[in-house]
Structures are given as structure tokens and as C-alpha cells.
């Protein structure tokens, strides 16, 4: 039997209770712990290390494309926050506000940042005066606070870690290019780092970011058929720059407002990794993002030569840049197998007396539990090959799941079937009226996730809700 099919009794089965399975994995794989304040979690070292891998990848990509890191204040004066009307209305229900400083009342209460558009705009207004100052392409790594009613580790928290890029451009064309370029960076991250296939596209007017002209999103499909908005990129036009009086003198000597973008991903990506790839034995981590890519477990390590060979193997792999762990604790091999399976380590290496005598090692892939024996002399080459294979297999499995759970629908009955029986994306033609989306939300608690870039009409080109002519293709799903 494949090892990853053996149920780990320490966690609830996914099919029994997916929500309980998720929180079991978060706790027992030691990704996080709860703090004394609801929605404010403790990122334990193993969970934070996953975020560090994501951060390292993206930070490199941002800098390669000319972006610079900055850091903005934690707090925003209420008077400043209220300068952009739609923005205020969008975030008002989620703001945490400080009204007392020390023993004194704060005359202009301070909002703990839910996002930093207004802070960047205030700063940009001071430092931009000429076309020569553009573009300004800044990013910050920080935490934000949104006072959520319902919280779940990584997926929806009162505080979460993220990056937020904020850029200013001389022309609309340049700003729109930036918006879609950063979406592509996120999409590539899903493919190359997380082994998660994202659906990309534009949000509807109702679902777009407060204050944006257009919002684009990467959406991942979880094992339970629910979608997870995993990152967004926004084109703001000149809405914020007009509100904050940001101007520059163009090449013809005329005063203009620059065009703005904003884009971000958060620790919600950790939740997507857990729910896309995990199984009943715990985490299944893609090699590129795994804090530990290979774990070495010596078998009968008290016997001569075993521990020494394991240490040599550890040193060899570590020197080659592989994130490797040698578990030479006094636990039993069976306990170690279950522990590192729970933590999702992509590849396990076993070396025991028989292996040593035959100059081989036994390797086990976490993603499918298959085992094979390879020559010890080929270890370095084979480990790198297997890590690549694991990533490809994980991505392909998730991609096939996405394909099989994306179904074209042309009636309310078919929408009901996809959302409640198939569980996944109902791909439908849409007339463009929000009233029809409101009907779907009321009946099925589902929303429009994206209007995909591939807008190829299908079927009778009728909206399944109202029956009227429809020219927009939209993906609808239940979501986190």
C-alpha cells in the first residue's frame, strides 16, 4: 500500500471534516499556534520558514524588475484615511482604531493599517514633481490588521503578513502593463514555487478592490472545491493621485496626475499550499517551498557505520544547497516516518545495515508514497532529479483536479450541480448585471471569482440566471 494512503490518526480525515482536518494540520505540523487575541496567530518556525521561501522568491523577482523595498508607518491618521471615498467605505468595517496614546486622547484617531495606499500616496505627493521622478516602483513587506468577524489560520486573520507593491507611472499604458506584469509574477510563482495552478482574470465591479478601476486576481481551487483568492493586482488610474493631489510636470511642461497600481500576496498562500496538496497524513509540501526538502533517517543507527554514513550523506547534500535534515534522535523509525510525513517533507532517505552493505539508499516520495532503491554513489544526482519529479507530479495532479472541477453551465440546475455536487468552478456566460450574481450568492453562497482572460463564448450565449443575451465568461464558486 502507498504510504500516503495510510490514515494518520492524529488528524481528522479530509472527507470527514475538511475544516477540522485543516486546523489539525496547522497545529500538529507545528505551522502556527493561537494567541490570546482572536485572529492574531503565532507563526511557529516551520510555518514562518515556508513564508520565508515565498518571500525570498518574490523579493528576488521584484528587484529583478526594478522595484525597491521601503517601509511605511503602522498607523494612519483618520483624516488621511478618509481622503479617498470608495477606499474608506470598503475598509471601514474592518479597521482597528487607536484612540488613546499613553493617558491622552488622540485628537485624530490612528487606524492600524489595513492596507497602505494612503500612506504611499502621502509620501509620493512629496517626492514626485517631474516626469523624471517616474516611475516610482516601491514594495513593502509588513503585517496589516483587518478586524475580521470569522477567522481561520493563514486564510483569514485579524492580522496577517504580506507584501504590498505601490507604483506610480507617467502613462496609463505603462501602469496597465505593470498591473498585468505583476499578476504574471504571481502566476509564475504558483507554477514554479507552490506547484499550484492558478486561474487568472479580472474581478467583476462588485468584487474589485475598494478604489480600484480594475482588479485582477489569482485564484486557487482547494481540495474541497472552494476557491481561494490568493493574490491581487490593481489598476487605480488617477483616482488616488487626484484625491491626494499628486502631480508631475510632463515633458511638455504641463501638470499631470500620475497613474497608479497596487498589488499584493499574503500568508494566505500557506493556506493554499495546505489545502491544495495536503492529505490524510498531513502536509505535502512542494520541494521549492519546503523548509526541509530531504530528511535522512538512519535505521538501526546503533549499529557500526550507520550513523557515520548518514552524517556523510547529510554533509554531501547540504553542501549542494539542498535543505536537508538528519533525524538521529532516539525515536523509533516508525515514529520518525509519521512525524516527517505530517510535516510534508518531500523526500525521505532511509539508510540501514542492508543498504550500507549494498552501497544503496532507500528513498520515499511524500507526494505519492512510492519507494525505490538508488546507488549511494548516485545520491546527489538522483535526489535532485526526484525533487524535480515531485514538483512536476504535484503540479500536474493539482492541474488535473482544476480541469475536472471546472464545468461549463447553461442553466440554474447545472450551476447547482457544479457548486454542490461536483464542487468547483461553474463556468458560465453572464449578462453583466450584478443582480444575477446576487441571485447566485443568495441561493448557493457562491460568488464571481474572475472573468478569465480567455473570453471565448460558449453554448447559447445566454445568462443562465435571467436568460438574457450574455457576452461575458465568468467563473463562479464558493470561496474562502
Comparing 65-69, 144-148, 246-250, 382-386, which segment has the lowest mean pLDDT? 144-148
Does 270 have pLDDT greater than 80? yes
Which band of pLDDT confidence, cut at 50, 70 and 90, is reported for residue 67?
very high
Predicted confidence at residue 5, as pLDDT, reads 56
Looking at 278-328, list the stretches that DSSP marks H as alpha helix, in order from N- to C-terminal side.
306-319
Q: Which residue has the cell 504590498?
A: 164
Q: Cα 4 to the chain's mean position, in Å?
A: 24
* Res. 2 pLDDT band, cuts 50 70 90: very low
* Other residues' Cβ atoms within 10 Å of the Cβ of residue 252: 7
Is 248 strand, coil or helix?
strand
For the purposes of burial, counting CB atoms within 10 Å of the CB of 100, is it exposed (0-12), middle (13-18) or buried (19 or more)? exposed
What average pLDDT score do residues 19-30 get?
96
pLDDT given for residue 82 in this prediction: 85
Can the peptide bond before residue 135 be classed as cis, meaning omega within 30 degrees of 0? Answer: yes
Mean pLDDT for the chain overall: 95
Question: Is residue 415 predicted with pLDDT exceeding 80?
Answer: yes
pTM above 0.85, yes or no: yes
What three-state secondary structure class fits 247? Answer: coil
DSSP conformational letter for 460: T
Can you give the pLDDT at residue 1? 36
Q: Give yes or no for residue 88 having a pLDDT over 70.
A: no
Check pLDDT > 50 for residue 288. Answer: yes
Model pLDDT for residues 332-357, shown as the tens digit of each residue: 999 999 999 999 999 999 999 999 99
Report the candidate in 373, 478, 358, 350 with the shortest Cα–Cα distance to residue 426. 478
Burial class (CB in 10 A: 0-12, 13-18, 19+), 64: exposed
Which pLDDT value is given to residue 87?
66
Give the tens place of pLDDT for each residue, 217-254: 999 999 999 999 999 999 999 999 999 999 999 999 99
Q: Which three cell numbers stand for residue 51?
A: 513564508
- CA 65 to CA 178: how far, in whole Å? 10
Domains of the chain: 12-277 (3.30.930.10), 294-387 (3.40.50.800), 406-477 (3.30.110.30)
> What element of type H or E holds 347?
strand 347-351
More confident of the two residues 90 and 326: 326
- Per residue in 172-219, pLDDT tens? 999 999 999 999 999 999 999 999 999 999 999 999 998 899 999 999
pLDDT cut 90: percent of the chain above it: 93
pLDDT digits (tens, 9 = 90+) for 89-140: 777 778 999 999 999 999 999 999 999 999 999 999 999 999 999 999 999 9
- Of 374, 284, 292, the C-alpha closest to 326 is 292
Amino acid at each position: 500500500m502507498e504510504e500516503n494512503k495510510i490514515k494518520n490518526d492524529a488528524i481528522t480525515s479530509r472527507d470527514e471534516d475538511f475544516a477540522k482536518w485543516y486546523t489539525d494540520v496547522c497545529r500538529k505540523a507545528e505551522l502556527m499556534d493561537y494567541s490570546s487575541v482572536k485572529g492574531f496567530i503565532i507563526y511557529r518556525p516551520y510555518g514562518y520558514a515556508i513564508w520565508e521561501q515565498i518571500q525570498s522568491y518574490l523579493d528576488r523577482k521584484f528587484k529583478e524588475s526594478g522595484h525597491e523595498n521601503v517601509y511605511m508607518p503602522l498607523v494612519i491618521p483618520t483624516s488621511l484615511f478618509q481622503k479617498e471615498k470608495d477606499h474608506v467605505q470598503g475598509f471601514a468595517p474592518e479597521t482597528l482604531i487607536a484612540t488613546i496614546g499613553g493617558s491622552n486622547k488622540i485628537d485624530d484617531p490612528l487606524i492600524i493599517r489595513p492596507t497602505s495606499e494612503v500612506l504611499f500616496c502621502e509620501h509620493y505627493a512629496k517626492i514626485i514633481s517631474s516626469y523624471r521622478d517616474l516611475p516610482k516602483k516601491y514594495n513593502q513587506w509588513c503585517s496589516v490588521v483587518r478586524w475580521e468577524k470569522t477567522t481561520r489560520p493563514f486564510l483569514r486573520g485579524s492580522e496577517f503578513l504580506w507584501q504590498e507593491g505601490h507604483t506610480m507611472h507617467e502613462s496609463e499604458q505603462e501602469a496597465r502593463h505593470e498591473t498585468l506584469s505583476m499578476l504574471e509574477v504571481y502566476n509564475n510563482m504558483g507554477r514554479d514555487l507552490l506547484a499550484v495552478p492558478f486561474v487568472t482574470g479580472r474581478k467583476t465591479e462588485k468584487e474589485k478592490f475598494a478604489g480600484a478601476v480594475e482588479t485582477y486576481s489569482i485564484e486557487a481551487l482547494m481540495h474541497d472545491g472552494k476557491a481561494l483568492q490568493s493574490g491581487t493586482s490593481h489598476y487605480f488610474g488617477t483616482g488616488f493621485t487626484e484625491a491626494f493631489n499628486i502631480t508631475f510636470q510632463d515633458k511638455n511642461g504641463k501638470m499631470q496626475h500620475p497613474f497608479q497600481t497596487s498589488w499584493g500576496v499574503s500568508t494566505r498562500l500557506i493556506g493554499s499550499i495546505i489545502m491544495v496538496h495536503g492529505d490524510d497524513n498531513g502536509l505535502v509540501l512542494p520541494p521549492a517551498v519546503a523548509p526541509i526538502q530531504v530528511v535522512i533517517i538512519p535505521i538501526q543507527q546503533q549499529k557500526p557505520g550507520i550513523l557515520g554514513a548518514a552524517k556523510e550523506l547529510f554533509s554531501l547534500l547540504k553542501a549542494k544547497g539542498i535543505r536537508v535534515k538528519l533525524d538521529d534522535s532516539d525515536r523509533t523509525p516508525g515514529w520518525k516516518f509519521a512525524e516527517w510525513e505530517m510535516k510534508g517533507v518531500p523526500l525521505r532517505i532511509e539508510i540501514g545495515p542492508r543498504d550500507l552493505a549494498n552501497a544503496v539508499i532507500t528513498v520515499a516520495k511524500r507526494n505519492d508514497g512510492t519507494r525505490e532503491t538508488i546507488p549511494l554513489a548516485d545520491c546527489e544526482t538522483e535526489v535532485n532529479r526526484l525533487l524535480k519529479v515531485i514538483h512536476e507530479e504535484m503540479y500536474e495532479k493539482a492541474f488535473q483536479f482544476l480541469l475536472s472541477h471546472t464545468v461549463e453551465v447553461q442553466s440554474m440546475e447545472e450551476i447547482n450541480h457544479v457548486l454542490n455536487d461536483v464542487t468547483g468552478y461553474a463556468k458560465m456566460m453572464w449578462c453583466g448585471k450584478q443582480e444575477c450574481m446576487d441571485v447566485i450568492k443568495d441561493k448557493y453562497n457562491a460568488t464571481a471569482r474572475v472573468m478569465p482572460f480567455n473570453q471565448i463564448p460558449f453554448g447559447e450565449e445566454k445568462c443562465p440566471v435571467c436568460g438574457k443575451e450574455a457576452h461575458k465568461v465568468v467563473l463562479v464558486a464558493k470561496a474562502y
